[in-house]
Amino acid sequence: MPRPANPEVRSRLLSVGRDVVLGRGFNGCGVQDITEAAGVPKGSFYNYFESKESFAADILEDYWQSIEDRHGPILYDARVKPLARITKFFRGLTHDHGEANFAFGCLIGNLSLELSNGSEVTRSKLSAVLNRWESALSACLREAQERKELGGKQHADELAQILIEAYEGAVMRCKVEQSGNALDRFEKKVLPRLLV
């Protein structure tokens, strides 16, 4: 009789596997690389994940949930003006990238480039994560409009999409240059021009 799945093993596979994928790319690592790094027998990987692509979707969910847990509350802090919250939110993300010396990029951007054409399950999860990110930013932008902090002619949903696209592009550039210059430009040049 098979042993029941162990939630701690699944959690370790997600956490360590995410780091492996960030460091080597999804196509640059195999299931064995992930299980070795997690200290788990290769055969047990499929007790927790239907396929490597479903694993990618699960690490995306885990990655975005960790961002929502750490930085998401910033966007809903009514003590801070909405546009300052958005700047603070992106600053928190940038700090995370700086902790890794800007070497790995963003899992959302990385997997978008690697898998959006080849894995429907991953593409679907990427779309869902981007929608959650957009929704959180849009709510904050609408509040800024209600408070007359942001011009009413801006379309909040579209502006949220533009902010994410600009940020992800800056993260990609930082990964190439292994410096925070592009994210510094995003915060000092792009945000002030868009959030008016």
Do 116 and 30 fall into the same domain? Answer: no
Q: What is the pLDDT of residues 10-69, one digit of tens each?
A: 999 999 999 999 999 999 999 999 999 999 999 889 999 999 999 999 999 999 999 999
Do 44 and 63 fall into the same domain? Answer: no
Based on the number of CB atoms within 10 Å of its own CB, is 192 exposed (0-12), middle (13-18) or buried (19 or more)?
A: exposed
Do 13 and 31 fall into the same domain? Answer: yes
Phi/psi at 51 (5° precision)? -160, 170
Q: What is the pLDDT of residues 63-117, one digit of tens each?
A: 999 999 999 999 999 999 999 999 999 999 999 999 999 999 999 999 999 998 8
pTM of the model: 0.92
Do 95 and 148 fall into the same domain? Answer: yes
Q: What is the pLDDT of residues 46-61, one digit of tens each?
A: 999 999 999 999 999 9
What CATH number has the domain bearing residue 27? 1.10.10.60
Do 32 and 127 fall into the same domain? Answer: no
Across 127-131, average pLDDT = 98
Do 139 and 57 fall into the same domain? Answer: yes
Do 88 and 161 fall into the same domain? Answer: yes
CA atoms within 13 A on the CB side of 33: 15
Do 82 and 96 fall into the same domain? Answer: yes
Rounded CA separation 184/121 (Å): 34
Per-residue confidence (pLDDT) for residue 5, from 0 to 100: 74
Domain range enclosing 107: 52-194
Across 114-123, average pLDDT = 91
Across 132-140, average pLDDT = 98
pLDDT at 1 over 70: no
Work out how many domains the chain is built from and give that number.
Answer: 2
Closest alpha carbon to 121 in 68, 63, 61: 61
Do 25 and 120 fall into the same domain? Answer: no
